[in-house]
Homo-oligomer: A and B are copies of this chain.
Amino acid sequence: MVSYSAPLRDMRFILEELADLPGVAQLPGCEDATPELVGAILEQAQRFAAGVLAPLNAAGDRQGCRLEDGRVVTPDGWVDAYRRFRQAGWIGLSLPKEFGGQALPKLVSTAVWEMWFSANSAFAMAPLLNVSESLALLLAASPELQATYLHKLVSGEWAGAMNLTEPQAGSDLAAIRTRAQAHADGSYRLFGQKSFISYGEHDLTDNIIHLVLARLPDAPSGVKGISLFVVPKRLVSAAGTLGAQNDVHCIAIEHKLGIHASPTCTMSYGDRGGAIGFLVGELNRGLEYMFIMMNDARFGVGVQGIALGEIAYQHALAYAQQRIQGRDALSGRNGVPIICHPDVKRMLLGMRARIMAPRMLAYAAAGWFDRMHNDRDGAAADKCRRYVDLLMPVVKGWSTELGNEVTDIAIQVHGGMGYIEETGVAQFRRDARIITIYEGTTGIQANDLISRKILREGGQTLRLLLADLRATASALRASGFGASMGEALAADIDCLEQTLDWILANGREHLADVLAGAVPFLHLLGTVCGSWQMGRAALAARSKLDAGADAYYQGIIDLARFWYAHHGVHASALGRTVRHGGAVLTNFDPDALSPAGA
């Protein structure tokens, strides 16, 4: 079994050359992110990921979780690993110092979280919930609630859990039915059932602080009547000590295709008189708070896609280097490692390209997050906020779709051995299969992209982005070595703009046709952004080579060429599908989908 080794060289190249870590580190509040500190953090994280988390991954998958008398028991070693994780301070890496965090840029924590997700995705979901929940409380909770909960969430002494979905309310949170009743003391009593709650119950911490979406009896219907509550598993006294068990219970855990070690719980609230909860922010604004947080949560899942691709790639590469099979088609030499076969090499390079392109985009986006929060230049901050808003559905939707593909190819590289569970690579495929679904399916991302991020503002931000893309295309065209990439990128940008124009022209009269192309458009935008970032990478690498740097940078240029020839090349077809495929779909009689019954 291959262990995990963080792709530090790639990470550093992207952080420094593409995502402007040096610039981010000069922003107010980000000054701690010196090259020395960032280097030390990445090294430490790599050691923790490889030494503590990765060794538990396969065993956690095999053992899974079990529910015993309402208590969830995590796999062997989980409790200890979690204790070490929180004691090392990893949870607060990019959370405010005020609550015990280290306030490092998101750009830095992004690389670190990628490591956790590569090493052990099922585990990493637990502390990620602490981060998400901390961000929600920072955003909207009263000082009292913050004082009671935030330090312990940031330190990891207590765990977090997000209780959004219900059996009838999955993608559509407007359909939530969980009730909250006001209580005389200002608190609330909650009643209802929540499903698919990751780490809704477990044995890693003494307390679990649930964030729960619920509805007051007199609340408006739909999305505008949903409020957000803190519901601790165990009640907390004014002094901060743990009290009685709240009326919150795990009544079932799911038997899933993957992430077996991450308990997916059905939570019951109020079976025994009502679960005591505390309102976060204002009434009926719960979904709004969730949507503000959504960019962050979706970003995290996008990184998970990259991370699962990376670990699957490492396994496939190691296997291809040592598995002896077949004859070299060129030399005729027998008994060569399979990496010598052109198609195996193609699969590996295809994996690496589909990891690096979304990684470049995600890290660049992390830098935009930092700038939007910290850049004193209002125009710069605003542009970054707009880019984050526009591209978060792409970072989530496109990176996870590619992550799935990469984990799937990893099985293919292994041949029959990939199908054997003990080989280990199938787990990454199974674990990855949820990432295009949770935190909003790819379809939901694509609809968000088309409707909220493009149509609502008439495509303004995407036009801004197109100008940045064109600058890269021009630089490539002028570069000599990259001229053909520059030509291809320029053509793809034209295709993207033409498709944007079509969307804007048809968004009102032919919305069904436009939405029918939402996912192909998401792939188009992702692909062109991938070509953009690969082009930027090639330009940066060329500069490094010209300055005498090592062969790593030639590998980046060659990777970019591969990306253009094998992946970027599909952009124009995607554009045509968006522009011409929608009406076909709209006009298709749904009855013709099931002719078997005819």
| Interface residue ranges, A against B (CB under 8 Å) | 5-10, 165, 168, 170-172, 174-175, 196, 222, 254-258, 314, 317, 324-327, 329-330, 334-335, 339, 341-349, 352, 404, 408, 411-412, 415-422, 426, 429-430, 433-434, 436-438, 441-443, 446-447, 451, 511-512, 515-516, 518-520, 550-552, 554-555, 558-559, 561-562, 565-566, 569-570, 572-573, 576-577, 580-582, 584-598
Contacts and interface: CB of A to CB of B under 8 A. Distances in A.
10 contacts: A168-B325, A171-B326, A329-B447, A329-B511, A329-B515, A343-B515, A343-B518, A346-B585, A419-B437, A565-B576
B7 A595 contact: yes
A550 B597 CA distance: 13
Nearest to A414: B437
Contacts of A433: 408, 411, 419, 426, 429
Nearest to A572: B573
Q: Could you say how many copies of this chain the assembly holds?
A: 2
A562 B593 CA distance: 12
Given A344-B443, A345-B590, 11 more contacts: A10-B596, A170-B417, A174-B334, A343-B446, A345-B585, A412-B437, A419-B433, A520-B566, A555-B588, A559-B588, A569-B573
A302 to B, nearest CB: 17
Contact of A7 (B222, B552, B584, B596): B596
A342 B585 contact: yes
A127 B77 CA distance: 45
A554 B589 contact: yes
Nearest to A510: B330
Contacts of A598: 9, 550, 552
B325 A171 contact: yes
A570 to B, nearest CB: 5
Most buried by B among A10, A421, A430, A585: A585
A422 to B, nearest CB: 6
B317 A426 contact: no
A257 B588 contact: no
A210 to B, nearest CB: 19
A324 to B, nearest CB: 7
Nearest to A351: B593
Contact of A420 (B254, B334, B408): B254
Contact of A196 (B7, B171, B416): B416
